[in-house]
Structure 1
């Protein structure tokens, strides 16, 4: 096991449901300095675990473990933190309660403060649903978070984003003929269809037209669809995926008692320096949505990743995109704080 567990105990979720013996799986890189002010929080995205975040961590990179103490908390529902696949009855599999982005960040805050005694965070950074969490950190704890850097992630699930996630959910529901009482019958094999649904959204039209999958070692589109989309999704537990889809579909940094649905107020309340990096060809976390959000954040820079890799411009695969993200994070970390 290359990660640690933080026991949360019995937690009451935003839904009002109490999840017993909940826990966060997390991994740290580097050392916490004496002042405890070299902290970077880097939450995971939908379907990812901490290992998938490691491409951005390393000596000489923006997330340099020789300079920073980097905490990667795993999303609830991802199979490592409390999830449908690892929670005993009565909250196992399809019975797992609904967990929000707000819940996730609240529990991460407990990890950071209770486990490590941290009061200031230099940066919260994340891709996709990790990006939503970085926005949530900035809105929930504006006096604690000095910088945020969401890439290919929006501050709420806009209607089109919701529809894309709903298509993925529908692929699983169709496997049990839309009978929610039969959800326990779902297996990983049913995830093949979800992967194929997502394949049209994760990358741009130009990526496919220019056959960039050949550079990844695939000789044909059919091989790429099977070798990437099917294979990566078939490794995921379908109940975990349904839980994370619910979290994603209902993400909104203002959907909590602090802001009562006032999205503009939530964005304006973020005090952190923000570097917002959408993929310029992202089909479902669109640059337009991010630009709207950036315009409401007092100290935000809007800096799209000019790339035909779509949503996956932030996935750590394409070298030019990786360099762009890393360079921007270095610039952001060099900025003086707002006090």
Structure 2
């Protein structure tokens, strides 16, 4: 996680039956809230977390000068299962500890989030659901699973269905980690640091575009060479995180399919057509694993959606608050959806 953990709460969910056929006993959903729920309970924004991130990593889009204004809205940021804050391989006791942690789907995440909002706050209506990357996957799922309850949806640099090319990219990241002998089939006694470093170096070549490297924008960050950037940014990117947690979230990502659930039974066309929420889908022109073409195919099947491409060299990072101009594009889209 790139940001220090800020305060959060825990929803004690008890025993949760997962799509994989395993019961997650004593499930915990960590969440953070910003702002105040109004009397009508209709000022709710749901903003799920992304791969390797926590609620703290979402705060770049929250503020009184932003569309996600806590003086107007009740913003709920649920931590995805497997991220090390909610129930995860690293914090779940035997027999579901470490590599024995069950497979989590985005359907599992969203159904648990819906239950938390309903049981803790009495929330039924969602003004907006939005997210970056895997957070955007959850936004898609929210809008499809609860179409009459979600008024607006935004996905920035994410997809409703993990594309084959993205699946293969994630296989490379995964194998950079699990081929480290210290991984020991997930039963390590200390984190497999060499595998985590290799994972970071693989990711570095995907998250930013060829144009970004061609322009040597790492110089603007204070680095004197590409190797300096890799050594001082990516070699330590995943230090402090748990390898089994990282693998759990990769598995969730690879399985992402908006229709792979009991509601749509694999009918992707029906799932996308069910999204009646006013939606703006925001891919980046240079995102190497969530290209605009994939989103365009999804938007074509949604009745009330717009494809709005972020014209940036920042690749996947265009959705994650790394570049102010890209963040402004996302913030403006969220303002429109909330207007």
Q: TM-score range by the shorter chain?
A: over 0.9
1:262 paired with 2:267, answer: yes
Give the one of 73, 77, 92 matched to 1:87: 92
Q: Report the alpha carbon displacement of residue 218 of structure 1 after superposing the two structures with TM.
A: 1.7
**Equivalent residues in 2 for 1:1-339, closer than 5 Å:** 2-176=7-181, 182-185=185-188, 187-189=191-193, 190-334=195-339
Q: Per-residue displacement from partner, 1:93-145 (whole Å, max 9, x unpaired)?
A: 11110000100000000111111101100000000000000000001111111
Structure 1, 213-222 or 15-24: larger mean CA deviation: 213-222
Q: Distance in 2 between matches of 1:108 and 1:157?
A: 21
1:188–1:235 CA contact under 8 A, matched in 2: no
Structure 1, 181-190 or 53-62: larger mean CA deviation: 181-190
Q: Per-residue displacement from partner, 1:171-197 (whole Å, max 9, x unpaired)?
A: 1121139xx973212724121000011
Q: Per-residue displacement from partner, 1:241-281 (whole Å, max 9, x unpaired)?
A: 01000000000010001111111110001110000000110
Quote the RMSD (CA, aligned, Å): 1.2
**3-state SS, counterpart of residue 232 of structure 1:** coil
Q: Report the alpha carbon displacement of residue 147 of structure 1 after superposing the two structures with TM.
A: 0.5
Q: Distance in 1 between matches of 2:313 and 2:282?
A: 14
Q: Distance in 2 between matches of 1:106 and 1:320?
A: 34
Q: Distance in 1 between matches of 2:236 and 2:224?
A: 16
TM-score normalised by structure 2 residue count: 0.96
Q: Per-residue displacement from partner, 1:147-184 (whole Å, max 9, x unpaired)?
A: 1000000001010010111111111121139xx97321
2:180–2:192 CA contact under 8 A, matched in 1: no
Change (3 A) 1:316 1:188: farther
Q: Distance in 1 between matches of 2:221 and 2:67?
A: 25
**3-state SS, counterpart of residue 329 of structure 2:** helix
Q: Distance in 2 between matches of 1:184 and 1:33?
A: 47
Q: Per-residue displacement from partner, 1:12-58 (whole Å, max 9, x unpaired)?
A: 10011011100100000000001110000000000000111000000
Gaps of 5+ in 1: 335-339
**3-state SS, counterpart of residue 82 of structure 1:** coil
2:178–2:185 CA contact under 8 A, matched in 1: no
Q: Report the alpha carbon displacement of residue 292 of structure 1 after superposing the two structures with TM.
A: 0.6
Q: Distance in 1 between matches of 2:139 and 2:223?
A: 34
Q: Distance in 1 between matches of 2:49 and 2:55?
A: 6
2:99–2:185 CA contact under 8 A, matched in 1: no
**3-state SS, counterpart of residue 115 of structure 1:** helix
How many pairs were matched up?
A: 332
1:19–1:97 CA contact under 8 A, matched in 2: yes
Q: Distance in 1 between matches of 2:299 and 2:204?
A: 28
**3-state SS, counterpart of residue 59 of structure 1:** coil
